[in-house]
């Protein structure tokens, strides 16, 4: 049995498949380390599973169904069940009822305001978030660590606190003379505040890992700094920027706390979908609330799906056969 497993262990790894690259798959355990469970009476049981895990071939045997079971249950309770309940509530009066609720002028207006403002916020984030990440990675300045820590603050702060702060700063009698209270710009500012970390934090690690020599190579070939950025750096960062932007967008369309005070909740002007939903609940129209919620859900879902497709495509291109 021992010789059998030894054979298995060494069998598939001779030079043939590791030839082009150093064998980083780490498959060659030192001979002294015998995987657990070698002498277990039933090789395919838990001992076998442990052995295979050690060699990175994935869980087998008892553990896989157990793990999958727990994850499925957890996701069902936490995510799928509420979403299903929501969908059921939205279609309480059939498709027609749902359609009527979603296409009610006030509902449509709130969805439009939400998507418009969120898109503006996402775009601003894409540009400035990338710039912030760039400066934090590439430039040296005093207080860099402090600035780096501050990035996460809007995320950690309860959003209603953000709303109060923003209202006192940009609201009526603004101490700095900028009154954004009850305007769409007020919404934009509030949402920018809470979505700040998304792009920064997704671009930062990619930029840290980026190979500076590639940029030097571009420069040696005659590329200006801007050309190098546009043609070399940006394509490398694109998946990260995109995913950060998408997350920021998804967060923005569902945001409630930070916009509730500064937005002013003016229908067709600054009333966002989440506020519309809240309002419909208050006037006892759960169907309207659920229908708009499902619409929001669909928008978020499509956004994340698109991101997935785009980023996995660009990743495949870079790592094909690697």
Partner 1 sequence: MITVTSARKDYGSFTALDDVSLDIPSGSLTALLGPSGSGKSTLLRAIAGLEELDSGTVTIEGRDVTDEPPQRRGIGFVFQHYAAFKHMTVRDNVAFGLTIRKRPKAETAKKVDELLEIVGLDGFQHRYPAQLSGGQRQRMALARALAVDPQVLLLDEPFGALDAKVRTDLRQWLRRLHDEVHVTTVLVTHDQEEALDVADRIAVLNKGRIEQVGDPVTLYERPANDFVMGFLGSVAHLGGQLVRPHDIALERDRATALALDAKVPDSPGVIDAVVERVVPLGFEVRVDLRADSGERFAAQITRRDAAELQLREGETIHARAVGRSSVVDHDPALAI
Q: Does 318 bind partner 1 (CB under 8 A)?
A: yes
- Count of residues that interact with partner 1, criterion CB under 8 A: 25
Binding of residue 209 to partner 1 (CB under 8 A): no
User: Residue 142, interface with partner 1 (CB under 8 A)?
Assistant: no
With binding defined as CB under 8 A, does residue 321 bind partner 1? yes
The answer to whether residue 216 forms part of the interface with partner 1 (CB under 8 A) is yes
| Residue 232 touches partner 1, criterion: CB under 8 A | yes
How much is the CA Rg of the chain, to the nearest whole Å? 26
132-154 in b/e form (b: 16+ CB < 10 A) is bbbebbeeeeeeeeeeeeebeeb
Residue 225 neighbours by CB under 8 Å, 6+ apart: 219
Tokens for 153, please give them. 């603050």
Q: What gap in Å lies between CA 112 and CA 315, rounded to an integer?
A: 33
Nearer to partner 1, 24 or 320 (CB): 320
Contacts of 78 (CB under 8 A, 6+ apart): none
Which of 10, 42, 138, 231 is the binder for partner 1 (CB under 8 A)? Answer: 231
Between 153 and 214, CB nearer to partner 1? 214
CA distance 263 to 266: 8
Binds partner 1 (CB under 8 A): choice among 20, 26, 143, 177: 20
Name the minimum Å distance from CB 239 to partner 1. Answer: 10
Tokens read off for 175: 């101490």
Binding residues for partner 1, per CB under 8 A?
A: 20, 211, 213-214, 216-224, 227, 231-232, 235-236, 314, 317-322
């Amino acid at each position: 049995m021992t010789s059998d497993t030894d054979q298995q262990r060494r069998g598939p790894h001779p030079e043939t498949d590791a030839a082009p690259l150093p064998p980083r798959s780490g498959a060659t355990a030192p001979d002294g380390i015998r995987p657990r469970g070698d002498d277990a009476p039933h090789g395919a049981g838990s001992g076998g599973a442990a052995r295979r895990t050690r060699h990175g071939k994935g869980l087998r045997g008892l553990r896989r169904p157990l793990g999958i079971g727990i994850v499925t249950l957890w996701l069902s309770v936490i995510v799928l069940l509420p979403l299903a309940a929501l969908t059921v509530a939205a279609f309480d009066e059939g498709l027609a009822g749902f359609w009527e609720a979603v296409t009610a002028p006030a509902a449509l207006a709130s969805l439009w305001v939400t998507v418009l403002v969120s898109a503006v916020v996402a775009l601003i984030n894409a540009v400035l978030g990338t710039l912030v990440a760039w400066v934090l990675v590439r430039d040296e300045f005093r207080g860099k660590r402090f600035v780096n820590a501050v990035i996460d603050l809007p995320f950690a702060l309860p959003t209603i606190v953000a709303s109060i702060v923003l209202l006192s700063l940009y609201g009526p009698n603004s101490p700095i003379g900028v009154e954004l209270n009850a305007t769409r710009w007020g919404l934009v500012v509030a949402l920018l505040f809470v979505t700040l970390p998304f792009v920064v934090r997704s671009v930062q690690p990619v930029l840290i890992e980026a190979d500076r020599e590639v940029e030097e190579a571009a420069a040696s070939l005659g590329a200006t700094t801007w050309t190098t950025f546009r043609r070399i750096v940006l394509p490398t960062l694109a998946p990260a920027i995109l995913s950060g932007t998408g997350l920021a967008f998804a967060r923005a369309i569902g945001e409630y706390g930070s916009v509730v005070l500064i937005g002013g909740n003016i229908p067709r002007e600054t009333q966002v979908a989440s506020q519309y939903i809240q309002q419909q609940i208050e006037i006892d129209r759960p169907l309207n609330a659920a229908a708009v919620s499902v619409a929001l859900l669909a928008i978020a879902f499509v956004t994340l799906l698109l991101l997935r497709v785009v980023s996995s495509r660009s990743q495949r291109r870079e790592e094909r056969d690697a």
